[in-house]
Amino acid sequence: MDVDEDPPGASLVSENQPSDASSVSSNEEPSNDARAPSTASLDNKNDDEVGLALTWTGDGWHTVLSRRRKKNLKKSKTEPEKALEKKNEKSAGHPLADAARDSQVKRDFQRRKRRGPTPLPKEEIKVILRPSKGLTVKNLFGSELSMAVIEACRNSFGLESFLLRVHPGSNIIILSTPHEQVAGRLIEINQLKIRGRIHPFNAYVADPEDVLRGIVHGLPPGTIQADLMANLRIRTQGVKIERARMLGSSKSAIITFTGDVLPGCVYFMGAEAIRYPYKPTVQVCKICRSTGHQTDVCPTPNANVCSKCGTCDPTKEHECALNCAICGEEHATGDKSCKKKLKNVAPRKSRVETPRRKTECTYAEKDFPQFEQHQQKPPRWFSSDREEATLQTGQASRSSSRS
């Protein structure tokens, strides 16, 4: 018996596939809307709390992203947009303003890139040469100054015995040497022959970098350095007075100490004087009103500048208003109210602190029985052994009665 029938399932699949697909899609659409609301995005707060982000597609599938990948995806989308916005803003701006902005950015980059000179060796001796008025050391070659120093010391040492550095801001010369004999020769320099002319100099040894300084007030003005060193005393152990000098014609003196601790007070001729912290101030020349160097080394001693207002070539009838050469405000230069009077110096600890090692006690009382016996024995402060014996018998009888 022949039966002409289609294979089961084949015709059904071909005929019902479109309808099934439409029905499946129609049935899954509301579920997709329920699972993926309009608020589902990469910025979902609930996803942030869980640490995962859900990216929904049109077919109802979603991709699970980690938090790190989510952040990278956001960055990749925002950086081109920001770059495009900056480019549009720059093109829409004024060309002169854009050029000024570019030059400012270039100057800032060069300022950050510029570095100071390599510091001189800390363990070496530093000798300072201060020129007289009218000589600008930054306009001279370093080789000229080195040869002048060798000639002033009568060729007693070579060029390899010291290092020379010019400090243009302070208008001084710094000589660094590890040899005490060379330093002794450099201190004796009182003049240098430069370009056929003789220029007087003042030489002295700079304080080491590990010294401490303090200020003492109420001393007799005009006291010479020898009298200060002979009459100053301190009681702090491990600290010595290296040198002391008066600050101009004032009643204050600056004292240099060597050690790890700054003493709280010093004694001058037996009288106690409180030691105050030393705060370096900005140097201002009284001749040219320039900051960075003192009056005795001014490179322009013939400058005609008003010391109060800073007017160049002033007349007798000019309007003179107080103007600070440091901060530019309306007060005298170096006044107590000046906010920029003090130098920006990194604070230094007054005591060298060493970390203490923590140790744990691993011993028991039974390891030291003699300590236990010593603690049980009462202290002896009796006048005789008889009183102590009576006290011990009294304690024994009292304990037996209690039991």
Which residue type is seen at 288? C
pLDDT of residue 8: 46
pLDDT of residue 56: 54
Kindly tell me if the per-residue pLDDT of 285 is higher than 60. Answer: yes
pLDDT of residue 256: 92
Per-residue pLDDT, averaged over 225-253, amounts to 89
147, 175, 205 — which closes off a domain?
A: 205
Confidence of residue 385 (pLDDT cuts 50, 70, 90): low
Task: Determine, yes or no, domain membership for 194.
Answer: yes
Kindly tell me if the per-residue pLDDT of 14 is higher than 50. Answer: no
Dump pLDDT digits (tens) for 179-198: 999 999 999 999 999 999 99
Per-residue pLDDT, averaged over 206-227, amounts to 88
Task: Determine, yes or no, domain membership for 149.
Answer: yes
Q: Do 193 and 235 belong to one domain?
A: no
Q: Do 270 and 333 belong to one domain?
A: no
Task: Determine, yes or no, domain membership for 120.
Answer: no
Q: Of the given ranges (66-80, 96-110, 366-380, 381-395), which has the lowest mean pLDDT? A: 366-380
> Which of residues 121 and 103 earns the better pLDDT score?
121
> Which of residues 142 and 115 earns the better pLDDT score?
142
Which residue type is seen at 192? L
Dump pLDDT digits (tens) for 296-339: 788 888 888 888 888 888 888 888 888 898 888 888 888 888 88
Q: Do 87 and 53 belong to one domain?
A: yes
Confidence of residue 61 (pLDDT cuts 50, 70, 90): low
Confidence of residue 63 (pLDDT cuts 50, 70, 90): low
Q: Of the given ranges (244-248, 256-260, 268-272), which has the lowest mean pLDDT? A: 244-248
Q: Do 230 and 261 belong to one domain?
A: yes
Per-residue pLDDT, averaged over 74-97, amounts to 57
CATH number at residue 249: 3.30.70
Kindly tell me if the per-residue pLDDT of 27 is higher than 50. Answer: no
Q: Of the given ranges (39-48, 154-163, 217-226, 289-298), which has the lowest mean pLDDT? A: 39-48
Q: Do 253 and 298 belong to one domain?
A: no
Show the 3-state SS of the chain: CCCCCCCCCHHHHHHHHHHHHHHHHHHHHHHHHHHCCCCCCCCCHHHHHHCEEEEECCCCCEEEEEHHHHHHHHHHHHHHHHHHHHHHHHHHCCHHHHHHHHHHHHHHHHHHHCCCCCCCCCCCEEEEEEECCCCCHHHCCHHHHHHHHHHHCCCCCCHHHCEEEEECCCCEEEEEECCHHHHHHHHCCCEEEECCEEEEEEEEECCCCCCEEEEECCCCCCCCHHHHHHHEECCCCCCEEEEEEECCCCCCEEEEEECCCCCCEEEECCEEEEEEECCCECCECCCCCCECCCHHHCCCCCCCECCCCCCECCCCCCCCCCCCCCCCCCCCCCCCCCCCCECCCCCCCCCCCCCCCCCCCCCCHHHCHHHHHHHHCCCCCCCCHHHHHHHHHHHHHHHHHHC
Q: Of the given ranges (35-49, 78-92, 326-340), which has the lowest mean pLDDT? A: 35-49
Task: Determine, yes or no, domain membership for 357.
Answer: no
Task: Determine, yes or no, domain membership for 297.
Answer: yes
Task: Determine, yes or no, domain membership for 360.
Answer: no
CATH number at residue 188: 3.30.70.330
Confidence of residue 353 (pLDDT cuts 50, 70, 90): very low
Q: Do 62 and 90 belong to one domain?
A: yes
What total number of domains does the chain contain?
Answer: 4
Confidence of residue 39 (pLDDT cuts 50, 70, 90): very low
Task: Determine, yes or no, domain membership for 317.
Answer: yes
Per-residue pLDDT, averaged over 211-222, amounts to 91
pTM passes above 0.95: no
Query: Are 156 and 234 a contacting pair, CB within 8 Å?
Result: no
Confidence of residue 169 (pLDDT cuts 50, 70, 90): confident
Q: Do 261 and 287 belong to one domain?
A: no
Per-residue pLDDT, averaged over 111-125, amounts to 77
Q: Do 144 and 162 belong to one domain?
A: yes
Which range of residues forms the domain containing residue 238? 212-277
pLDDT of residue 25: 42
Confidence of residue 6 (pLDDT cuts 50, 70, 90): very low
> Which of residues 244 and 47 earns the better pLDDT score?
244
